[in-house]
Structure 1
Amino acid sequence: MKVIHLISGGDSGGAKTHVLSLLQNLNQTITAQLVCFRDGPFAEEARSRGIPTEIMGGNNIPRLQRQLKAYIRAGGYQLIHCHGSRANMVGALLRRSTGLPVVSTIHSDYRLDYMGRPLSRLTFGTINAWALRHLDYRIGVSDAMVDLLISRGFPPDRFYAIYNGIDFTPPPAQGERLPYLRSLGVDADEDSVVVGIAARLNPVKDMATLVRGYAAACRTCPRLRLVIAGEGPEREKLGALAQELGVNVTFAGWISGGMDQFYSALDINALTSLSETFPYALTEGARFRLATVASAVGGIPDLIDSGVNGCLFQPGDWQTLGEHLAALGSNDTLRRQLGEKLYEKASSKFSIQKTVDTQLHIYQEILRRHSRLKTTRDGVVICGAYGRGNAGDDAILEAILQEMALIDPDMPATVLSKEPKSTRLAYRVRSVSRTNMFAWHSAMRHAKLYINGGGSLIQDVTSRRSLWFYLLNIAVAKRCGCKVQMYGCGIGPVTRENHRRLAARVLNRYVDVITLREPDSREELRAMGVTKPEILLTADPALTLRKAEDDQIDSVLLRAGIPPQGRYLCFALRQWRGFEEKAPLFGAAACYAYKTYGLIPVFTAVEKHLDPAAARLAAQGLDIPHYFLDDAGGAGTIIGALSRMEAVVSMRLHALIFAAGQGIPLAGVVYDPKVSAFLRYTGQDNFTNLEDLTEAALRAMIDRAVGQAGHPETQAAAVERLQAMEGGNVAVARRLLKL
């Protein structure tokens, strides 16, 4: 593989470190040629690292374009990789003339690159914004940067994320700490706890928040010291602020001779930026096992799980920053624990080798996508109850997208969503509004397969209009030339006779294959008279999803104030007809479980906009310890949170599905036939109808669920069977796509 990298050659900071370390390591596997538009320290360092480097300068852009075009063709390069605004502009011009795919790595928010320089922002910033939209692919340094750009309208399926990685080889001994600190001007002794930051002193780094937070922390922890390494336009203003607040801040200027000795002398690493991608300063600090406090911006939360391996605060929140600094300054053990955990995560996930492997994978995928045969029809359109904040429905979408990628990793997919922007951000997939008929009609005319995406969409209990919408969608998709699959779905209840006739007519005429998540739905189709589509019994796609990693789960629980390693009983409740009358029974059952088994109730929301109200109604008046998990994030972290429970009492179907997949004992409260249908399908009989619920029945179900905790093998076998059957959904999609 031969890749040409374009860069201005005047870069510094994180972008410089990223490009040089990446190319140095890439050239051990592929040919990564660097072209700089000016000579100087950047190009000199590249040469010193053994990176093949060429200089093509001048301000005559048409001539530079012709020169590069000839150079690329003569060298047989397969891909153009740009870094920075000028390179992006040149890359956009080369895209059509060379016929090669062009990708840019975005190292910072292009709208903030010229902060405080209005003329440069108007000229270079505008050109860069134009160029970025005329490239084939973009790589954001962190998922957060990718999300930011998608939110600005960039195509979501043309993005990749990469993280700055470093070499975690143990650093050599750095000499004595106190003499070094004193050489920087820090008034430190053996008892001092030194907070440090290394960054350019410009507005984006928001050092004023650090100074204010430090001043607040010093009032309760006077052993703290602050040293700032760096220079910039904010230097005088920060000095004046420190003097005004009455604190001694050491401004060390630029550190010569490398940063290892600086980080080795610190106790706490800090970062207060208003905007970041994924700063090297944090992984450099992690390399020295430093406790870290940082603003929750960019990709920083991907490294730091607050309360688990570091502390996060919102940008500008100097009060919370001060509290974190005071707590770390006062607790030597806590600092060591957080520093060790940060090192463990950073060294395993954010090494330079991990960055190189990711970049190679991105190149391979881009070249594969670039050579993909262009056809008039390609990919899938997926329609379901998505973008409503319901973790169960969105879990179905996540599972279907993962399974489509198993069939074809480059398959185009378009999702119909109530909130297309949130769907694009969550899944990096094209998404259009359910109300934009022109958009989804256009998508159907270019797709091979239409998927009616799981859940109980064909029903009229919650809404007649939703039934009409999904039936209309199915009919339009078929008329547009798509194959139509109803994917791992449930059917019903369809209560009105005219709706049953309408549904049967549409499904018989327009659907190719229906795969069902439980047998009750098959009986409902037969009763409705649906006979013409192929009907197969499979399982719910959400059963294939896996829990998030432990540190992410810990972070979600800690944010809700829940100790990660307690003994818990989950209640997943929802508002429904008759729930208000029955709500006190759940509170009484929570008291019973706590006093009988020592299980602390955790009221967990699956639909984060609606379920918290039901939880608080049930918990009203509780005088025992209890917690509310109102927003556990996506499917992975919800599944992870449920995996920490000893049993789950649930009205919500997907809480039962998620818990079943983790082998957690279940007790179901049935408000809809789909709940009992799933439980019977897994061989469970521990459920009762909401309308029949009594305190005695609920206690008995909890007793049975707790008793099952010591014998998970029966449920595990049933779930494994269902997960194997779920593969039938994928097999049908593959067949209909003719792949």
Structure 2
Amino acid sequence: MSNIVISGYYGSKNAGDEAMLSAMLEIFSELDPKLNITVISSDPDYTKIRHGVNAVNWLNVIDILKVLYKADLLISGGGSLLQNVTSGRSLYYYMGILFLAKLVRTPIMLYAQGIGPIYGRFARRLMRWFGNHSSLITVRDEDSLKELAMLKIIKPPIKATADPVLAIKPVDKQAGKNIFLKAHVDISKPIIGISVREWRDWTHYKEIIAQAADCATEEFNAQIVFMPMQYPEDVKAAKQIAAKMKNPVYILKEDFTTAQLMSLVGNMDLMIGIRLHALIFAGVMGTPMIGISYDPKIDRFLKSIDEEVAGDLQNITVDALMEQIRQKWHYKECYRQANLKRMKNLRILAKSNAEMALDFINRQK
């Protein structure tokens, strides 16, 4: 039996990261049902209950060293762990886990990572060392390859694949319908979903989303539903936007599972997202999407499916957002079919992350 330890932003009730873990576990169990997996989590009990997998506390160095010592491979990922745009401290934390793995001579795989940006000479030198002392690296987009090249990380095998969530299978839409009915959303009328987040206490983008949501409500007779990807933080941002609107909206206020969120998105006519994995859920479920960028990972994902952001949180305008809403609305079926076709190729690439990990382990035995 092979042993894998997975390090990432797990246990913090961020729907995107929990979806990544769900997708990874789903693919690994398909490829090797006997594989033993332990997750480093900020809430081990939550991870054990939600995913049915072993977990250790992310700050318990002794427990982490114990599981790493027995492991055939440390998987660092997926996600944008190795960057210091959203947080400077988290970069050093995830590098610290890599250091513990090196300490007990456990091979490292950087798994479907979104690399960078990494600012600061010391941080970049550390990243170069850990990258070149990894056994295998996969990244989820071509721009991450460029970041690795700029960092002069060249020693391990490196391949561009896709975000792990893209390997997950579409789900049945009935669960989403039930949630909408419970929230008194009329499923016979058009639904525009919006996924927002707080960012640096900025307010401009909230004003723009509020105005555009009002326009869309009136122009398309649509219902606006805010869907939290990180609960309860995203609910706060949704309430602030709703308070700026003239028309009533629905704000979902639960910590939904990955399957429930995907089912909700599958019942929407359009998803407007700041959160990356709300957009990825839309891609998997065949729902037309519009992305507003706060981080290069949004631009990179949309680029991978031949789409562009409507703007970023600083420069987004009502006109630019409404232009995309009208375009996606009038050609919904075209975008739906195009996205589903693109997802097939990305699903193969996403699955290859796990295939490469298991192939590496088998070659070491």
The two structures share one fold, judged by TM-score above 0.5: yes
Q: Give the letter for the 1:496 counterpart.
A: G
Provide Cα deviations, 1:73-95, integer angstroms capped at 9, x if missing partner.
xxxxxxxxxxxxxxxxxxxxxxx
Residue in 2 aligned with 1:428?
Answer: 52
TM-score w.r.t. length of structure 2: 0.95
Q: Deviations for 1:303-332, whole angstroms, at most 9, x for unmatched residues?
A: xxxxxxxxxxxxxxxxxxxxxxxxxxxxxx
Given residue 602 of structure 1, which amino acid in structure 2 is its aligned partner?
Answer: V
Name the SS of the counterpart of 1:459 in structure 2. coil
Matched, 1:651 2:274: yes
Equivalent position of 1:634 in the other structure: 257
Q: Aligned with 2:108: secondary structure?
A: strand
Q: Of residues 183, 186, 196 in structure 2, which corresponds to 1:563?
A: 186
Residue equivalent to 1:595: 218
Match of residue 454 from structure 1: 78
The DSSP-based 3-state class of the residue aligned with 1:633 is coil
Q: 1:496 aligns with which of 92, 109, 120?
A: 120
Where does residue 507 of structure 1 map in the other structure? 131
Q: Does 1:517 align with 2:125?
A: no
Q: Does residue 93 of structure 2 align to residue 469 of structure 1? A: yes
- For the pair 1:398 / 2:22, whether they are aligned, the reply is yes
1:537-686 equivalences under 5 Å are: 537-577=160-200, 579-631=202-254, 633-686=256-309
Secondary structure, aligned partner of 1:454: strand
Cα pair 1:650 1:669 within 8 Å, conserved:
yes
Distance in 2, Cα, partners of 1:710 & 1:551: 21
Q: Deviations over 1:617-641 (max 9, x none)?
A: 1111433232112326111110110
Structure 2 spans left out of the alignment, 5+ residues: none
Q: State the Cα deviation string for residues 423-468 of structure 1 (Å, max 9, x = none).
A: 0101111111000010010001111111112000001122222111
RMSD value, Cα: 1.6
- Cα distance change, pair 469–542 in 1 and its aligned pair in 2 (3 A): same
Query: 1:705: which partner in 2?
Result: 328
Q: Distance in 1 between matches of 2:201 and 2:315?
A: 10
Deviation at 1:548, TM superposition (A): 4.0
| 1:256-297: CA deviation from partner (whole Å, max 9, x where unpaired) | xxxxxxxxxxxxxxxxxxxxxxxxxxxxxxxxxxxxxxxxxx
User: Secondary structure at the residue paired with 1:675?
Assistant: helix
Contact 1:683 1:715 in 2 (8 A): no
Q: Give the secondary structure class of the aligned counterpart of 1:458.
A: coil
CA distance in 1, matches of 2:269, 2:309: 15
Of stretches 392-401 and 481-490 in structure 1, the one that deviates more from structure 2 is 481-490
Whose RCO is larger (CA < 8 A, sep 6+)? 2
- Structure 2 vs 1, CA of residues 418 and 401 (structure 1 numbering), >3 Å: closer, same or farther? same
Give the letter for the 1:456 counterpart: S
Is the alpha carbon distance of 1:468 and 1:455 closer, same or farther for their aligned partners in structure 2, counting shifts above 3 Å? same
Q: How far has the Cα of 1:664 moved from its partner?
A: 1.2
Secondary structure in 1 matching 2:81: strand
Partners of 2:259 and 2:19 in 1: CA distance: 9
SS at 2:80 equivalent: strand
Query: How has the CA–CA distance of structure 1 residues 447 and 677 changed in structure 2, closer, same or farther, with 3 Å as cutoff?
Result: same
Deviation at residue 393 of structure 1 after TM alignment: 0.5
Q: Point out the structure with max Rg over C-alpha.
A: 1
- 1:132-211 alignment to 2 at 5 Å? none
How far 1:411 sits from its partner (Å)?
1.4
Q: Once the two structures are superposed, what CA deviation does each residue of 1:646-703 show, in whole Å capped at 9, x if it has no partner?
A: 1111110000111011121111111101100100011112431221111111111211
The count of residues paired between Structure 1 and Structure 2 equals: 362
Q: Could you tell me whether the CA contact under 8 Å between 1:449 and 1:484 is conserved in 2? A: yes
- Which structure 2 residues correspond to residues 267-278 of structure 1 after superposition, within 5 A? none
Contact persistence 2:310–2:320 (CA under 8 A)? no
Using the TM superposition, give the Cα deviation of residue 716 of structure 1 relative to its aligned residue in structure 2, in angstroms.
1.9
**What is the aligned counterpart of 1:482 among 90, 106, 110?**
106
Matched residue type, 1:473: I
Find the counterpart in structure 2 of residue 722 from structure 1.
346
The letter of the residue matching 2:296 is P
1:260-299 aligned at under 5 Å gives the runs none
Mapped to 1, the partners of 2:319 and 2:121 lie a distance apart of 38
1:686–1:391: structure 2 CA closer, same or farther, 3 Å change rule?
same
Deviation at 1:497, TM superposition (A): 2.2
Structure 2 residue 164 is the aligned partner of structure 1 residue 534? no
Paired letter, 2:93: F
Paired letter, 2:290: A
- What is the rounded CA distance, in whole Å, between the counterparts of 2:25 and 2:333 in structure 1? 35
- AA partner of residue 412 (structure 1): N
8 Å CA contact 1:546, 1:639 repeated in 2: no
CA distance in 1, matches of 2:331, 2:99: 46
Aligned twin of 2:41: 417
- Distance (whole Å) between structure 2 residues aligned to residue 725 and residue 601 of structure 1: 33
Question: How big is the shift at 1:502?
Answer: 1.2
Partner of 1:734: 358
Aligned to 2:318: 695
Deviations 1:468-520 (A, max 9, x none): 111121122133232211111111121222211111112112x1111111111
In 2, are the aligned partners of 1:589 and 1:695 still within 8 Å (CA)? yes
Please, which runs of 5 or more residues in structure 1 have no aligned partner? 1-372
Inter-CA distance 715–667: structure 2 relative to 1 (3 Å threshold): same
Deviation of 1:597 (Å): 1.3
Secondary structure of the residue aligned to 2:287 is coil
For 2:67, the aligned partner's letter is: A
Distance 2:202 2:171 in 1: 32
- The answer (yes or no) to whether the contact 1:547–1:637 under 8 Å persists in 2 is no
Aligned partners of 2:116 and 2:147 also within 8 Å = yes
Q: Which one-letter code corresponds to 1:612 in the other structure?
A: V
The alpha-carbon distance between structure 1 residues 546 and 630, as it changes in their structure 2 partners (threshold 3 A), is: farther
Runs of 4+ in 1 over 4 A off after TM superposition: none
Three-state SS of the structure 1 residue aligned to 2:110 is: strand
- Which stretch of the first structure deviates more once superposed, 650-659 or 462-471? 462-471
Q: Which amino acid aligns with 1:572?
A: S
In 2, distance between residues paired with 1:662 and 1:579? 31
Query: Residue 35 of structure 2 aligns to a residue in which SS?
Result: coil
Asked if the contact 1:632/1:638 (under 8 Å) is kept, the reply is no
